């Protein structure tokens, strides 16, 4: 198992708190060639990263290169339809719906969650096009929402059951 991140600080945190002892950690830029040989991994997981890099075509092509012939890619992203749009609230501050104005136009936005980062908005069709061009076939597409159990613990998340915040995609390499 290899854990990668573009941030040396994140790798340092992961190394201090490893999930398993057999994980190797590396600082890697997903917009460049990956430092791994062809066909060396069975599964790749890209969690909440592809919307933060400028060239997903490079990353997808490299994922396909380092995966085995029947390799699996699972990735999650913020939901591109809803992430950068604002909630419309009622007079009591309840979340009613999201206002969508220009979903189809790719754009770059500066965000300030944990420091300044760039968010590369792309419509879902862009992700599917790049997956197909890289030799992948989508096997599963999910828009997860909080479970009823999670809502008992966090009732304020109720509006996330009506408008999904994330997308999870499982893709396999085509023969």
Residue span of the structural domain in which 1 resides: 1-30
Assign 171 a pLDDT band (cuts: 50, 70, 90).
very high
Same domain, 76 and 149: yes
Average pLDDT over residues 163-174: 95
Q: How confident is the model at residue 35 (pLDDT cuts 50, 70, 90)?
A: very high
Residues 8 and 45 in one domain: no
Same domain, 129 and 168: yes
Q: Which two tokens stand for residue 70?
A: 């029947």
pLDDT score of 84: 80
Residue 136: beta bridge partners? 173
71 phi and psi angles, rounded to 5 deg: -65, 155
CATH code for position 111: 3.40.50.150
| 3 and 51 inside one domain | no
If you write DSSP's letter for every residue of 85-118 in order, what string do you get?
A: SPEEE-TT--EEEE--S-TTS-EEEEEESSSEEE
pLDDT for 11 equals: 93
Residue 141 tokens, joined: 């597409």
The predicted model scores a pTM of 0.91
Q: Which 8-state DSSP code applies to residue 34? A: -
Predicted local confidence at residue 76, as pLDDT: 98
Q: Please count the structural domains in the chain.
A: 2
pLDDT in tens, 78-116: 999 999 888 999 999 988 999 998 999 999 999 987 788
């Amino acid at each position: 198992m290899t854990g990668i991140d573009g941030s040396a600080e994140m790798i340092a945190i992961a190394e201090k708190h490893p999930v398993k002892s057999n994980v190797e950690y590396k600082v890697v830029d997903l917009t460049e060639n990956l430092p791994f040989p062809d066909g060396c991994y069975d599964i790749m997981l890209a969690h909440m990263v592809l919307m933060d890099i400028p060239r997903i075509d490079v990353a997808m092509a490299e994922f396909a290169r380092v995966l085995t012939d029947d390799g699996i890619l699972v990735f999650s992203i913020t939901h591109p339809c809803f992430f950068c749009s604002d909630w419309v609230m009622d007079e009591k501050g309840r979340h009613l719906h999201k206002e969508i104005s220009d979903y189809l136009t790719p754009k770059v936005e500066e965000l300030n969650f944990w420091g300044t980062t760039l968010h590369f908005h792309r419509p879902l069709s862009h992700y599917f096009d790049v997956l197909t061009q890289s030799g992948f076939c989508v096997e599963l597409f999910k828009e997860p929402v909080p479970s009823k159990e999670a809502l008992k613990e966090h009732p304020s998340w109720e509006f996330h059951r009506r408008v999904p915040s994330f997308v999870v995609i499982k893709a396999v390499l085509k023969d």
